[in-house]
Amino acid sequence: MILILKKNCLRLLGALQILLFMPSASQAAVIVFDRVTTVGTSVYLKVLTKGKFFAEGGKRITFYLEGQQLGKTLTGGDGYGFLKITPARKGMKEIEVHTEKDRGNGHLLVLNRDEKVIVIEIEGSLKTSLYTESIRAEIRKTVKALSRSYKIIYLSRFLGFNISKTWLQNEKLPVSAVLPWHGSDTLEDLKENGIHLWVFIGSAALISTSSDYFEKSYTFEETEKGEKLENWAEVENLLLKQEKN
């Protein structure tokens, strides 16, 4: 019980540190959510327009992809707006959304169906604000190495979309799509879009409910499912060095 409380306190501390040092991240007037799909599979681009504190609907928005205008629409009363597209080519593409006064950016990750994807839970495996610089450097090295061989999707459970993206940027981790965790629906949506969910790296709690979606699951905590690892160097050895042999 004491160990569980300690772990929860450390996670809360890490989240508070991020919130204190990134107050502007959650105040964006236009939030453009990252999306992931495969070539030829339709996906809805998603945006949220906000006032000073709360969502604000009825705003005319214009969607751009890689600088090319896609279309215009109005956000609903809840502040959300959507645009359906069917990407024809793979790649990491920048989404930009303009209102009359503001603009926001996000990413659309388009994959081939045979590409292996590694999903990394931010709070459950990175937690970089709690580590020494040497460990943070090890994490950066490993994640960058993984990103050169496989596609990465980040998963955020608690911090929120914008704060998570700002944190990853500050930690100099590879840019990729950041998806909010909505339970198994998040993984179901990825599967429906043809994503090959290969490896999950995250908390034991999330592995207990999501390991069936992946071929391999790793955590740095005690776990009944998946495999416990001691450090990120083991991740690199398992997923890169052994795969080459």
Q: Check: CB of residue 39 under 8 Å from CB of residue 51.
A: no
Among residues 102, 4, 120, 87, the alpha carbon closest in space to that of 47 is found at 102
125-147 residue pLDDT tens = 886 556 788 888 999 999 999 99
pLDDT at 99: 93
Mean pLDDT of 6-10: 46
141-171 residue pLDDT tens = 999 999 999 999 999 988 888 889 998 999 9
Fold of 116-244: Rossmann fold (3.40.50)
Q: Cα–Cα distance between 243 and 50 in angstroms, integer? A: 46
pLDDT at 128: 57
Tell me whether residue 110 is exposed, middle or buried, using C-beta atoms within 10 angstroms of its C-beta: 0 to 12, 13 to 18, 19 or more: buried
Domain ranges, ordered by start, for the chain:
27-111, 116-244
85-115 residue pLDDT tens = 999 999 999 999 999 889 999 999 999 999 9
218-233 residue pLDDT tens = 999 999 999 999 999 9
* DSSP 8-state secondary structure symbol assigned to residue 62: E
Q: Cα–Cα distance between 37 and 5 in angstroms, integer? A: 38
pLDDT confidence band for 244 (50 / 70 / 90): low
Q: What is the largest CA-CA distance in the chain?
A: 56
pLDDT confidence band for 7 (50 / 70 / 90): very low
Superfamily (CATH) of domain 27-111: Immunoglobulins (2.60.40.10)
Q: Cα–Cα distance between 213 and 197 in angstroms, integer? A: 7
pLDDT at 4: 43
Alpha helices in the chain (DSSP H): 2-21, 133-149, 161-170, 184-192, 204-210, 232-236, 242-244
